[in-house]
Structures are given as structure tokens and as C-alpha cells.
Structure 1
Amino acid sequence: MMLTSALPDHEDLMQRIARDLIDSYDEELELEIEDRNLDGLDPSAPAVTDKAARQAYFKELFRLQGELVKLQDWVQHSKQKVVILFEGRDAAGKGGVIKRITQRLNPRVARVAALPAPNDRERTQWYFQRYVAHLPAAGEMVLFDRSWYNRAGVERVMGFCSDEEYEEFFRTVPEFEKMLVRSGIKVIKYWFSITDDEQHMRFLGRIHDPLKQWKLSPMDLESRRRWEEYTKAKEIMLERTHIPEAPWWVVQAVDKKKARLNCISHLLGQLPYQEVAHAPVELPSRVRHDDYLRQPVPANMIVPEIY
């Protein structure tokens, strides 16, 4: 008898999509919540069903982000070099956690590398060459939103590389990462794990949300059809590239908020950072000159104040 995975009923599915939509509102609230009260939300927004839990999430997120600022200062002060790889299926939440990590950090210290598909010239280069250009200098952290592991995942499943190139990748990548570690670069690798059902729901949410439809590419839709092939590719990748110098860490990511907090907390534990002492900041007095006259801005240059 042929078995199929049970899909949620329509009512349950719509409730989950609604919760996902509220999560997307939370993403925007996180930047402003320190100055706003949740009770002041637009009444036309979806109802908040568990305000206490959401407030607890924000409180812990802000605490962890404060620790990330300390980590950033330590990386910069001690001239550390850190590489963090984020891998996972489409809609697994990689971008969300990267956004929370970098949200309050200096982009000159913590930067994101999200490389597009290789161009014609890059396809003729050594496979790792275009990634090497984005590696950190002293005092920098680089977060790869997808990485050289594209070859073990999408390229393998979609047939964008040959069997020989695939096997060469597995021969090379452990030595490549060991070389990075020997050179003083800390390599941390995360795989974001979601269920078949959860990806199905998140894709439906993107389809029905005009603000997120841009996230769905033909490649994403094809990856949905090839779920099992991606699973096999992921299992092989973890088995063949989980090395002591750069082990894989799997983040359970069905619950987005928990995944963000767990990943950030774990990341902080991977580095022996300490708070860096800073001299007190004093705001200098403004220099004033009697002959200074501020020129008025022409009215036709001013943005209309419609709000």
C-alpha cells in the first residue's frame, strides 16, 4: 500500500499561515519595540494571541543581541577572523536568523555574503575561488547566506555539476576548511532543519503574501518537488563534511523564534569572547561662530510632509 504524508486540514493550515504572517510583522516590530507598546498596535493588524510569549521572546532576543555587540567588540579588538555558514532548505529561516544576528552590529565588522549563481567566468575558476574573496580579514566576521556547500546541495540535486565535480568537492572541502582553521579563521557551520509539512506551509504563506512572493523562484518550487532528493543530498553532505576542525551544528527550525534564539545562544558559546572596556564617551561642545549663517533650503527641494 502506498503511504503519503498527512497534510493539515484547511482550517489548521490557514491558522498556521496567519501565525506566520504575524511573525513577519514581528520582524518589523523588533526594530521599534523598545520605543513602542504592543497595546498600541494597529487594530486592523492580526490579533495578538500570546502577547506575553512574544514579549518574552523580544526580551531574550534583545539580551542576546547585546551579547552579540560584546562579541563584535571582542572580534574587532582581538583581531579575530570568523566565518559562519548558514545552510538549509528553502524557507528554513536562514535569512531570518542572519538578520537578527547582524541587526545591531557594525556592518564593517559583521558582513553578509550572499553570492548569486556563478557567471560564465566564475564557472571556469577553481570552485572555491569566488568564496575566498569574501573571507574575513583580522577583526571581521563573515556570515555566508549559503556557501560553498551549494555544490553538495542544489548543484547536485539540480544536475548543475558532474559526478566528477561532486566527488572532487568532497575530496577538497575538508582540506579547504582545515586550511582556513590553520590560518586562524574560526569556521562555524549551521544547518537549519525543517519538516516537509513546515516547508509546505511556508511556501503557501509566500504564495499568498504579496510582500513575500519575490522570495519564490522557479528553483524554489522545483526544490519542493524534489524534497527526497534534497534529503539524501543533505545526509551525504553532513556525513562527509562533519570534521572536528569545522563540525556541523543542526538547528531545529520549525519554530522560527526558538530557532533564532537557540542559534544565537549557541553561536555566542562557540567563541571565548569577553567584554572589551571602552573609555567613557563624552559629547564635545559644538563650535559656534558669530559669522555663521545657515542658509534656508529651497521649498521645492523639501519632501512633502504627508504624514
Structure 2
Amino acid sequence: MAKNDFKPFATGEGANVLSQAEFEALDAVENGFQTGIARSEQLNKVWRQASTIASVVASFMADKSGSDVVDNGDIATLQATLLKALLSNSKAQLDSHYLQTEKNLADLNSAEKARGNLGLGSLALKNSLSAADVGAFPAAGGSVGSQGIKSPGVFVNNHTMPGNSQGMYMLWNETNGGGEGALVCNKGTGDGGFVLRTVNSTNTVETGRITINGSGDLNTSRYLTEMGQRAYSPNNPPSQLNGGGWFKDVATGFIIQWGTTSNGSANIENHNYNIAFPHAALVTIGTLGVNQDPGRVVYLQATNNTVFSSKTTSNGIGFSWIALGY
């Protein structure tokens, strides 16, 4: 226990002091002691009052600060001890009534009630908020960047848009729940359509483009391919008709393929068609190449949808071939 040098004076039983009533009636209470005889019981009363209060304060300082209160004239130390006692007592008395910053609101008796008092309605009473609680876009497994979706940008399963507005929306199961998906352009007063582009790594140069205009016409900046092979059309013919190539009639699926071989063999050899016929190779026909002896012969046979066989009457004979199928 901390030491206290300040003791109350004349507090013993039968001490020589005035009674409280006598002291309050004493003229010296207002005017102080004047010249004349100094009566001990009067002085003892004054000293007891001063010393008693000093002792109470000193005891408080020692008990609450845990430091000694020494009568050595060190005023600075006494002031520091008094301040320490006041702070310690205030903390002990006020901790149960006021929030403490180091506890980060954990000292609230009812966190749920406190959140409700913030005036945030039911949102304040939740331990966590879902996307639906705040009207946010649910981004499970990923995130939507600040430039990812712009409005009017993408309307999912909702094609109710203001008249003459321009935008885009996605649909699925639009036709009797068939499982299809649709990307729809709401052209408004514009031309409509879609543009698919590829650009370089710095987004400064366009490297490829596919456009579908508002009428459904498809245009590409380069070739169309089918089954890994370039698809030809009347407006997109092979660069050299005397080289190897193929053509498919879109309406019927009928396919014509052709090619050349510069060094045929008297042994049976297998050759791949330019593309595999999806269903059947109907016929494969050959003819001798330029400047060949007309007396020589080339024999061709369709082996399957992918391969045909050849044999010439002697080695080193060049020939051209054409195959029909679908």
C-alpha cells in the first residue's frame, strides 16, 4: 500500500477543539484571529479542518495512484501523483458507462440494438449484406470492373427498353425453353448490328473484324473456314483454280475437291483429300499431267471419306485429280 505522510490533526476522542456550532458562531471565522489571547481549542479546530481535508485528498492520491504521497515539499511530484490518481479513478468509474476506443465497440451491451439506433432500418441489423440487400450486381466467382458494364449496356432476360433507345441485352430459353441463348441489339433509331474486333496488345491497331449488320449480313476482314478449311464461294474463289482446293455448295452440301501430284508411282499410294467428306466420297477421277505420254494410264479409287488411292503404269507420272461427294 502506498505511503501517505499527511495526517489529520486533533481527531482523537476528547480532542481539545471547539464544537461545530461554536466554531460557526466564532467571529474569527469571518475576520480571522485578531490581537489578543490565542485559545488552543479555537486554533485546534482550524488546524483539524485543514489537516483533515489534506489527509483525505492525500489518501485518495495514494490509493488511486499507487504512489507514495510524501511530505517533502516536492510540489511537482504531488501534482503528478494527483493527476495520476484522478485519471485512474476516472477510468475505473467511467469504463462501464462510456465506449473505449481500444475495444472497437466490442464493449456495447447489445451490438444489434446499437446498429438499429443508427436509423438504417433492417440493413443495420444484419451481420452481413447480400447483393440483393443493396441492389448490387451479384458477382460470384469474379468481379465487374468500373469499365466492364455501361448503361444502357447489358439487360439480362429483359427486352423492355424505352422507345427508340439503343442498347443490348441477353436472353436465354426465349423459345419454349429450348436452351438457346441470344444476344440482341436494340438498334433504336440507328442501323443496328454487331461488330467483333481483335486488336493488338496496346489496343491501338485493329487486327481483325467481323460485322453483322442490322439486316443480318455477315462480313469478315479475311477468310471463312469450315472444318478447319477455307470455304470458297462465287465472291470468294480460290486464289489459283489450278492448285488444290475445294468448294461446297451451301444449299445442297455438295462438295468438289481437286489437286495435282507431280510424281505418281506404279505402286498403290494413298492420298488425303483436301478435306474429309462429311458423309460420302462419290467418285474420284484422274487425268495425266501436262506433257505426259498419252499411252500411260493413272488409276484412282475412293478408299473412304478421307483417303483415295492411286496407281500409275510407271513411276514418275504426274496427274491431276478431282473428287465429288457430300
Fold-level similarity (TM above 0.5):
no
Structure number with higher helix proportion: 1
- Higher RCO structure (Cα 8 Å, ≥6 apart): 1
TM-score tier (shorter):
under 0.3
TM-score, normalising length: structure 2: 0.15
Structure number with higher strand proportion: 2
